[in-house]
């Protein structure tokens, strides 16, 4: 083995990563134990043959040798493979070399239990691991497990022979495996480490590698052309390669009494055949464990869930919103299942499936399924072409024409994922809406409780119940309200308004803006888009129950509600805003941006970062609001206001603006500015006689509530089916 070959690998991977955007993510490195190890990876592309040894060298500093099919040892790649310790499966001393190096800990090894590329990723059938390969149809190869067991049992039997001073057996082991006494054998037990490679996304297409190969080779082998198409796409399209090292499997756990039994009959057979006789059953068990370790650690992506859903759906058509909801629920369920590994896109932004926002993984896999003729759109439904979905394809062409099948095959061994998709995708629309609503609310509550526990400050935090989002459901109503509180406050601030509207027959969901209701320092890490996302999630929640949705809020909540209405013209039927902070009376507000920017420069120069803050002791609700206001939070508030003013012209639904005429915090001119900029023709500015900002609590608030309720009733009546029919 040559160190230079590993260095070349590192240089090559660095160049590819920079030029082509390849991302290699390695997890489970804690399982790279310093013991004689046999690594057993899955095998989907030629990339693994040089990538796995390089990654092990990079993260563990260990040189490993690989067993490869004889066809690999040709040309430049073959010479490279030999340079990093590759050995052909046809090498005459293959087994003894591997056993010797595992016994002596001279080298670790990489052996693929699948025996070759599994291009269709079909490894699981009827609860058992089975390969569907042109050269083998049945259980995976047990060779790797057999070699590990033989190496471990040979170590033990050589040690016993030395203790018994059995010269015949000592001579056999030393001659067969090049041993030179007990000290030459590693005292530590051998382990097998499953290695799982997952590629995301996989979208094969013709690329420069194909063109170059066709230019230099007139009659290019179709198999080589296919591999260049698939693997070239992975490299050129910036796919992410996740390599996960599973928990080490103790080989000695699969020996037990076998060692003693083999020793008793050693005189009947020669040493190796005696071992074979007793180890075959154990090798099958060990191989099964390795396969579970490999395939249970597949990193489940959205592609997997979508492709699986097409296979397990009992009907041939499904409403698009139902499919999105089912996949959201399955992903959320899997996030709480121990042992299931999820791709980062399954945790970040997955709620976009039910909020109606753009979710790039959805758009991408829908495009793939459409191109392959597996689905077609029929108004608000997707229709599945079962014949196309189940169409048989050749082993060497399936990756080009039916990647949907390949991805569905890949997730089959991850049974919790398959069952979660099966349960949810076959639910009725009403059950999906109920469960989606509950899941969204549960998500909001979980996030709040986690934030509260992490940020709790005995001096600054308020009682936990004040900050928890809540949902007041009304039976038999088709109108729901998304209600947002103000800056530095919490859901408790708008509870009187929520209860007033609920008592009059409306469902009301009161959300929590991130950074609020916990401790004020959390506002230093929150962006205004996080606040808007919380409203978007609340909108999706209310829409699961109500056909007519009105968004509204107080102060910052009102600003964000206008933004929500501008971005969701088809989902929001009305919007109201109370004392939106378009213009602040505090003349220091324009200085916030430069001060926060200075703080950023201090951090870049290596100076201590400070979170500038001001006192909020004058708040009208000291029992609810934070007593400290961080300037980073004020900056995000100002950014939200600017975003609102840019987008408020896109509001096309009825809008109600309520403004206190002597608000001490917000300049009443802000209401007139918004009125002029609103894009809708149905807009009202109601100036109300108050000399305080918090007009939704205390004396006179009933008039505010009544004005809002009249507006909601009007919007609800205009959005009713009868009104739409008459118009």
d(CA 374, CA 376): 7
Q: Is there a domain that residue 686 lies in?
A: yes
Q: Does the pLDDT at position 80 exceed 80?
A: no
Mapped onto helix, strand or coil, the DSSP state of residue 507 is strand
Do 64 and 147 reside in the same domain of the chain? yes
Q: Is the peptide bond before 201 cis (omega within 30 degrees of 0)?
A: yes
d(CA 433, CA 113): 44
Query: What's the chain's average pLDDT?
Result: 87
d(CA 75, CA 671): 75
* Helix H or strand E encompassing 13: helix 3-20
Domain tally, the chain: 3
**CA contacts within 13 A on the Cβ side of 501:** 32
Alpha carbon 645 to chain centroid, angstroms: 34
Q: Does the pLDDT at position 213 exceed 60?
A: yes
Q: What residues contact residue 273 under an 8 Å CB cut-off, 6+ apart?
A: none
Which residues in 104-125 are b (16+ Cβ under 10 Å) and which e? bbebbbbbbbbbbbbbbbbbbe
Q: What whole-number percentage of the chain has pLDDT above 90?
A: 60
Q: Does the pLDDT at position 608 exceed 70?
A: no
Do 180 and 124 reside in the same domain of the chain? yes
Q: How far is the CA of 82 from the CAs of 70, 86, 87, 150, 719, in angstroms?
A: 11, 5, 7, 25, 73
Do 277 and 394 reside in the same domain of the chain? no
Q: Which of 510, 649, 644 is nearest to 580 (CA)?
A: 644
The owner of tokens 């969701």 is 568
* Helix H or strand E encompassing 354: helix 352-355
Do 577 and 695 reside in the same domain of the chain? yes
pTM: 0.86
Q: Does the pLDDT at position 202 exceed 80?
A: yes
Q: Can you read off the two tokens belonging to residue 146? A: 């057999």
Whole-number pLDDT of residue 208: 81
149-184 pLDDT, tens per residue?
A: 999 988 888 998 999 998 988 999 999 898 988 899
680 and 710 Cβ atoms separated by less than 8 Å: no
Q: What is the DSSP letter of 198?
A: E
Q: What residues contact residue 296 under an 8 Å CB cut-off, 6+ apart?
A: 339, 413, 414
pLDDT, average across residues 284-312 = 96
* Helix H or strand E encompassing 464: helix 464-467
Q: Is there a domain that residue 545 lies in?
A: yes
**SS3 annotation, 232-270:** HHHHHCCCEEEEEECCCEEHHHHCCCHHHHHHHCCCCCC
Do 382 and 476 reside in the same domain of the chain? no
Angle between helices 94-104 and 143-164 (to 10 degrees): 60
Give the highest mean pLDDT range of 52-56, 324-328, 580-584: 324-328
pLDDT bin (cut points 50, 70, 90) of residue 441 is very high
Do 280 and 330 reside in the same domain of the chain? no
Which has more confidence, 364 or 73?
A: 364
Rg for the chain, CA atoms, rounded: 33
Q: Is there a domain that residue 81 lies in?
A: yes
111 and 144 Cβ atoms separated by less than 8 Å: yes
**Domain extent for 160:** 3-202+239-295
Quote the Cα angle for 412-417-419, to 5°.
85
**What are residue 242's DSSP bridge partners?**
25, 198
Angle between helices 528-543 and 429-455 (to 10 degrees): 150
Do 183 and 87 reside in the same domain of the chain? yes
Do 35 and 67 reside in the same domain of the chain? yes
* Helix H or strand E encompassing 655: strand 655-660
Q: Which of 244, 232, 441 is nearest to 341 (CA)?
A: 244
668-690 pLDDT, tens per residue?
A: 999 999 999 999 999 999 999 99
369-396 pLDDT, tens per residue?
A: 999 999 999 999 999 999 999 998 888 8
658 and 683 Cβ atoms separated by less than 8 Å: no
d(CA 90, CA 69): 8
d(CA 204, CA 230): 5
Whole-number pLDDT of residue 598: 43
d(CA 196, CA 340): 13
Do 421 and 479 reside in the same domain of the chain? no
Q: How far is the CA of 370 from the CAs of 319, 402, 587, 683, 709, in angstroms?
A: 16, 11, 56, 43, 46
329-348 pLDDT, tens per residue?
A: 999 999 989 999 999 988 87
Which has more confidence, 313 or 595?
A: 313
Mapped onto helix, strand or coil, the DSSP state of residue 577 is strand
655 and 681 Cβ atoms separated by less than 8 Å: no
User: Residues, the chain, total?
Assistant: 727
Q: Is there a domain that residue 120 lies in?
A: yes
Q: Is there a domain that residue 329 lies in?
A: yes
Do 137 and 17 reside in the same domain of the chain? yes
pLDDT bin (cut points 50, 70, 90) of residue 191 is very high
Query: Ramachandran region of residue 53, left (φ > 0), alpha (ψ -120 to 50) or beta?
Result: alpha
Do 385 and 475 reside in the same domain of the chain? no
What is the side-by-side order of every strand in the sheet holding 655-660? 470-472, 507-510, 479-484, 548-554, 574-578, 655-660, 683-688
d(CA 566, CA 651): 4
Whole-number pLDDT of residue 672: 94
Q: Can you read off the two tokens belonging to residue 688? A: 């109300």
Q: What is the DSSP letter of 141?
A: P
d(CA 80, CA 73): 9
Domain of 666, CATH number, reads: 3.40.50.1820
Q: What is the DSSP letter of 166?
A: -
534 and 444 Cβ atoms separated by less than 8 Å: yes
Q: Is there a domain that residue 170 lies in?
A: yes
Whole-number pLDDT of residue 722: 61
Domain-ending residue, one of 402, 427, 452:
427
| Torsion angle in degrees (nearest 10) through CA of 351, 352, 354, 357 | 160
Domain-ending residue, one of 427, 446, 477:
427
Give the highest mean pLDDT range of 252-256, 466-470, 588-592: 466-470
Give me the DSSP letters along 597-637. HHHHHHHHTTPPP---EEE-TT-S-TTTS-SEEEHHHHHHH
| Torsion angle in degrees (nearest 10) through CA of 91, 97, 98, 101 | -150
The owner of tokens 């052909």 is 88
Q: Can you read off the two tokens belonging to residue 254? A: 């699969």
271 and 157 Cβ atoms separated by less than 8 Å: yes
Q: Is there a domain that residue 581 lies in?
A: yes
Q: Is there a domain that residue 719 lies in?
A: yes
Domain-ending residue, one of 266, 295, 324:
295
Q: What whole-number percentage of the chain has pLDDT above 70?
A: 87
504-514 pLDDT, tens per residue?
A: 999 999 999 99
Do 275 and 395 reside in the same domain of the chain? no
């Amino acid at each position: 083995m040559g160190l230079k070959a590993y260095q070349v690998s590192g240089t090559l991977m660095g160049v590819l990563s920079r030029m082509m955007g390849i991302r290699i993510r390695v997890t489970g490195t804690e399982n790279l134990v310093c013991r004689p190890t046999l690594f057993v990876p899955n095998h989907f592309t030629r990339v693994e043959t040089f990538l796995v040894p390089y990654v092990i060298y990079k993260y563990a500093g260990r040189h490993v040798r690989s067993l490869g099919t004889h066809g690999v040892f040709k040309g430049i790649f073959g010479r490279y493979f030999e340079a990093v310790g590759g050995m052909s499966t046809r090498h005459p001393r293959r087994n003894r070399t591997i056993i010797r190096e595992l016994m002596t800990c001279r080298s670790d090894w990489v052996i693929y239990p699948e025996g070759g590329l599994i291009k269709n990723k079909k490894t699981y059938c009827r609860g058992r691991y089975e390969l569907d390969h042109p050269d083998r149809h049945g259980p995976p190869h047990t060779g790797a497990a057999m070699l590990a067991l033989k190496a471990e049992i040979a170590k033990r039997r050589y040690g016993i022979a030395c203790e018994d001073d059995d010269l015949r057996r000592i001579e056999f082991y030393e001659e067969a495996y090049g041993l030179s006494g007990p000290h030459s054998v590693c005292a530590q037990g051998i382990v097998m480490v499953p290695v799982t490679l997952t590629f995301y996304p996989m979208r094969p297409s013709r690329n420069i590698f194909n063109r170059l190969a066709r230019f230099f080779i007139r009659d290019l082998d179709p198999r080589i052309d296919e591999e260049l198409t698939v693997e070239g796409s992975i490299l050129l399209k910036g796919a992410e390669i996740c390599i996960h090292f599973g928990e080490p499997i103790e080989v000695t756990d699969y020996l037990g009494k076998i060692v003693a039994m083999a020793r008793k009959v050693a005189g009947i057979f020669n040493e190796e055949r005696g071992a074979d006789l007793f180890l075959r059953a154990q090798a099958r068990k060990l191989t099964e464990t390795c396969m579970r370790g490999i395939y249970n650690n597949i990193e489940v992506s959205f592609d997997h869930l979508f492709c699986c859903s097409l296979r397990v759906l009992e009907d041939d058509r499904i409403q698009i919103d139902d499919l999105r909801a089912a996949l959201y629920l399955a992903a959320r369920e899997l996030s709480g299942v121990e042992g299931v590994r999820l791709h980062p896109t399954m945790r970040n932004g997955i709620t976009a499936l039910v909020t109606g926002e753009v979710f790039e993984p959805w758009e991408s896999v829908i495009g793939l399924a459409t191109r392959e003729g597996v689905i077609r759109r029929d108004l608000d439904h997707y229709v599945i072409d079962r014949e196309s979905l189940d169409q048989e394809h050749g082993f060497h062409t399936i990756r080009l024409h039916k990647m949907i099948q390949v991805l569905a095959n890949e997730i089959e061994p991850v049974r919790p994922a398959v069952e979660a998709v099966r349960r949810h995708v076959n639910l009725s629309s009403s059950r999906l809406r109920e469960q989606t609503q509950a899941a969204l609310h549960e998500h909001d509550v979980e996030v709040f409780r986690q934030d509260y526990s992490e940020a709790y400050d005995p001096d600054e935090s308020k009682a936990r119940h004040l900050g928890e989002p809540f949902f007041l459901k009304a039976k038999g109503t088709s109108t729901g309200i998304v209600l947002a509180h103000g800056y530095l406050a919490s859901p408790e601030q708008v509870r009187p308004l929520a209860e007033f509207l609920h008592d009059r027959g409306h469902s009301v969901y009161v959300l929590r803006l991130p950074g609020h209701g916990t401790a004020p320092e959390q506002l230093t890490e929150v962006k205004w888009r996080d606040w808007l996302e919380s409203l978007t999630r609340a909108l999706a929640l209310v829409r699961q129950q109500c056909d007519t949705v009105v968004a509204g809020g107080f102060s910052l909540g009102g600003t964000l509600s206008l933004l929500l209405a501008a971005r969701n013209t088809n989902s929001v039927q009305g919007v109201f805003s109370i004392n939106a902070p378009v213009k602040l009376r505090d003349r220091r507000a324009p200085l916030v941006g430069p001060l926060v920017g200075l703080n950023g420069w201090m951090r870049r120069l290596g100076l201590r970062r400070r979170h500038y803050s001001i006192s909020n002791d004058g708040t009208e609700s000291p029992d609810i609001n934070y007593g400290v206001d961080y300037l980073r939070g004020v900056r995000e508030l100002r950014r939200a206001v600017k975003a609102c003013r840019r987008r408020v012209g896109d509001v096309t639904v009825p809008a109600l603006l309520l403004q206190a005429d002597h608000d001490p915090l917000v300049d009443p001119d802000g209401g007139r500015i918004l009125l002029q900029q609103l894009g809708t023709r149905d807009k009202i500015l109601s100036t109300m006689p108050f000399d305080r900002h918090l007009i939704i609590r205390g004396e006179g608030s009933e008039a505010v509530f009544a004005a809002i309720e009249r507006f909601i009733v009007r919007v609800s009546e205009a959005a009713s089916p009868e009104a739409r029919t008459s118009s």
